[in-house]
Chain A
Amino acid sequence: MDSALTVHRLTFAFTSIYHYLFPQLTMGLALYIVVLKTLETRRADPHYGRAARFWARIFGLNFVMGVVTGIPLEFQFGTSWATFSRFSGAVVGQTLAMEGVLSFFLESVFLGIFLYGEGRVSRRVHTLSAWMLCLGTWLSGVFIVATNAWMQYPVGFQVDGGNLQLESLGALFTNPWLPWQYLHTMAGSVVTASFVMASVGAFYLLAGRAERFGRTVLRLAVPGGLAAAVAMAFPTGDGQGKNVARYQPVTLAAMEGLFETKQGAALALVGQPDMERLRLDNPIEVPRLLSFLTYNRWKAEVKGLDAFPRETWPQNVPLLYYGYHIMVGLGTIFIGVLGLSALLLWKDRLFAMRPALWLLMLMLPFPYIANTTGWMTAELGRQPWLVYGVLRTAAGVSPNVSAGNGLFVLLGFLGMYALLGILALFLLAREIEHGPEPTEAAEGGR
């Protein structure tokens, strides 16, 4: 903790992980709210409007948390990573400024209309505002992932006078890293929203209240979640993995815990990277599967960490390895749980099968863990680089901000975010306890 670099890295890691707990829900939830608003109009049934309003309240709370915890990230580029900002702002600032100008305004304007406008604006304008809000959040994802994709695989720039300058804006958006990373991220967001909805729906069915609401959200969230969970693995996860193999082979070796270059490399399911002996302890492996997954050939050679100079290895190989394995393990479990639930739903047995409802309800924290460890894989895997192959993380920090000043701010964020988290959980629990508005007595049954 005595080095400014460590303090600034911890601050960015902590504030960005905390921030992403909120957008990962709101981006996916926006999509479901649009579906509910559309059902309300199509079927002329106020039941769907009530469901949309319930989720809008959850959305509003999470969205504001996302906004206020997002601003510190944008500020930190300048405050704590000034050398990086000066060096690459002409390029990376493009996508960040586009996010601000093209999507943040859209989101915030239509959020205001969506949250405050019902009953005041026409129903069409209200539905339109839900659509625009959803569009804004998904567009915002394009720009921020384009920014990250550029840091993972920098393109479209030239070095001029010691700093980077933009050569081609188009290149930033045709970056081969972007499409898979974007789709993978957005599918992850739909998975989180699906599990949150399914969990709340299952809770109401188990508690024997707001049952029509519970059934409606499960009918939407289980198939939606299954589609997204499958998309996480294939094609998006597969595509993302092949990008890592191609553009950051040393990262792939560290993620997989592959210390030695091998033909027909095995895929480690479980094991502990031992950095003293440079091997994987207690491995459980599937022979040759890593070669196949990476190159579609069972005997292909996969480069291990030994093929790369040690100073290019990601600095924290074990954490990267665990982050990646937790993400993949949870992703597999999600497909299983949602596949089973979808089967039961199709056979019309889900709503009466209490163990399955319990399982869905208790899944709530896991998509958050999977999304977090996924981003940890991306960010730890990029180390020791801030801009891959161009600028090292250690070289990007603000030289004029001391460790002591940095620690003051880190502690401030820790305290503030702990408090905000407790209050937000308290309010969310109350909203769920309160439930959707009661239905009219005539509207029982399905």
Chain B
Amino acid sequence: MATLWFGLVAFMFVTYVVLDGFDLGVGAVHLLLARGETERKTLLATIGPVWDGNEVWLIGAGATLFMAFPALYAASFSGFFLPLMIVLWLLMGRGIALEFRNHLDHPVWRPFWDVVFSVSSALLAVSLGVALGNVIRGVPLDASGQFFVPLWTGLRLTPPTGFIDWYTLLAGLLALAALTMHGSLWAAVKTSGDLAERARGFARKAWAATALLAGAGTIATFSVQPLIPARLSAHAEGLVFPVLALAGLVLARWLMEKDADVRAFLSSCLFLAGLLASTAFGLFPYVLPSNADPARSLTVFAAASADHGLRVALWWWIPGMLLVTGTFVFLYRNFAGRVEAKDGDPARPAVR
């Protein structure tokens, strides 16, 4: 039961990264990609109706983690106290920027919120990568199963480590590059003309950075966290995940050449999902390795709630997820197709 819920929670986090990833990526490139108010409006309209729903996957995943693995939720959230709170402020700044921007049509007001939106989106992309890097590297769990990491203690990996060191920073940059590619591909799918052409150019450059950082990141991960290569060689069936990630990456580049926007975007989804699934599979059964004393590493079994509660939760989780899938299909179908915004044709009317 614990293993099943590990898979379900991982599925929710992966879905979060794939979905919110593209709107974070759009945010990260927003200032550079869109020129002039009309293009900015167009670009924002590509994510306007969906970003909030995408972000709910993070909340849903977090709450499901709380229910299924209270010990992991308690240890990791309190241990990453400062970085998580800063992530919260970034999430706030980003959501507020998207909404506030719409309420006032003014040449000083809108550029301000564009900067807030873009900078917080880029920093969130980096933070997600750094956070994942921390989980892979491990944290200094004490005998009571708790830890506390400061923001940084220097870039070296020797304990005591902070939230940011060279390895987690590398993971953060990989996340930024990958989500930039992901977001640019989404923009290429959803817009047309010059804007879409520029988005394709961005995606190609971001692909090169992603490929380079993913290569470096994989080598670094294998040396920083030997659990992952050990598990992958012991359970060869798990190799399917890294293979899928690699296939997604290669396909994305090939499809970009052919200007097949939709399929390139889907390949990018495959790449992100494959990468995250490889990590989850590689760490299993550990959910929070200890970099101080390996014996204190938290396993999925030690962190899980009792079986009865987990079994009961399936009765609402499965229908709930079917409903969510249905409503998301409904949402994306209603907003399918390329977005065209003309001058004076706001996605939502603003006060002048």
Q: Do A and B come from one complex?
A: yes
B301 within 8 A of A: no
Binds A, one of B184-192, B236-244, B256-264, B319-327: B319-327
Residues of B within 8 A of A389 (CB): none
Binds A, one of B61-69, B215-223, B273-281: B61-69
B208 within 8 A of A: no
Chain B stretch 120-169: residues in CB contact (< 8 A) with chain A: 144, 146-148
User: A75 to B146, Cβ gap below 8 A?
Assistant: no
Residues of B within 8 A of A94 (CB): 67, 309, 312-313
Interface pairs (29), CB distance under 8 Å: A60-B99, A60-B102, A75-B62, A78-B62, A78-B66, A79-B85, A82-B146, A86-B73, A88-B70, A93-B73, A97-B63, A100-B64, A104-B56, A104-B60, A105-B320, A108-B52, A109-B53, A109-B328, A110-B327, A111-B52, A113-B331, A116-B335, A116-B347, A166-B305, A166-B312, A169-B313, A169-B315, A412-B89, A420-B92
A120 within 8 A of B: yes
User: B63 to A400, Cβ gap below 8 A?
Assistant: no
Other than A69-B92, A399-B146, give 15 A-B pairs with Cβ distance below 8 A.
A64-B95, A78-B78, A79-B81, A79-B84, A85-B70, A93-B305, A105-B60, A105-B320, A115-B348, A165-B305, A167-B308, A400-B79, A405-B148, A409-B82, A427-B104
User: A72 to B88, Cβ gap below 8 A?
Assistant: yes
Residues of B within 8 A of A124 (CB): none
| Top-6 shortest CB links A-B | A78-B77, A89-B70, A93-B67, A166-B309, A90-B305, A112-B49
User: A423 to B100, Cβ gap below 8 A?
Assistant: yes
Of the candidates B52, B64, B76, B323, the one whose C-beta lies within 8 Å of that of A112 is B52
User: B351 to A97, Cβ gap below 8 A?
Assistant: no
User: B73 to A68, Cβ gap below 8 A?
Assistant: no
Q: A96-B63, A166-B305, A400-B148 are in contact. Are A85 and B74 (CB under 8 A)?
A: yes
Nearest CB on A from B128, distance (A): 15
A91 within 8 A of B: yes
A61 within 8 A of B: yes
CA distance A141 to B238 in the complex (A): 42
B residues bordering A, Cβ < 8 Å? 45, 48-50, 52-53, 55-56, 59-60, 62-64, 66-71, 73-82, 84-85, 88-89, 91-92, 95-96, 98-100, 102-104, 144, 146-148, 305-306, 308-309, 312-313, 315-317, 320-321, 323-324, 327-328, 330-331, 334-335, 347-348, 351-352
A residues bordering B, Cβ < 8 Å? 57, 60-61, 64-65, 67-69, 71-72, 74-75, 77-80, 82-83, 85-91, 93-94, 96-102, 104-106, 108-113, 115-117, 120-121, 125, 160, 163, 165-167, 169, 398-402, 405, 408-409, 412, 416, 420, 423, 427, 430-431, 434
CA distance A395 to B352 in the complex (A): 53
CA distance A127 to B184 in the complex (A): 33
CA distance A165 to B68 in the complex (A): 11
Nearest CB on B from A233, distance (A): 34
Residues of B within 8 A of A68 (CB): 91-92, 95-96
Nearest CB on B from A86, distance (A): 4
User: A115 to B63, Cβ gap below 8 A?
Assistant: no
User: A96 to B53, Cβ gap below 8 A?
Assistant: no
Q: A77-B66, A79-B84 are in contact. Are A101 and B100 (CB under 8 A)?
A: no
Nearest CB on B from A271, distance (A): 41
Q: Which residue of A lies closest to B79 (CB)?
A: A400
Q: Which residue of B lies closest to A98 (CB)?
A: B316
CA distance A96 to B148 in the complex (A): 25
Residues of B within 8 A of A117 (CB): 49, 334-335
Nearest CB on B from A153, distance (A): 19
Nearest CB on A from B307, distance (A): 9
CA distance A117 to B74 in the complex (A): 40
Of the candidates B59, B68, B103, the one whose C-beta lies within 8 Å of that of A74 is B59
Residues of B within 8 A of A93 (CB): 63-64, 66-68, 70, 73, 305
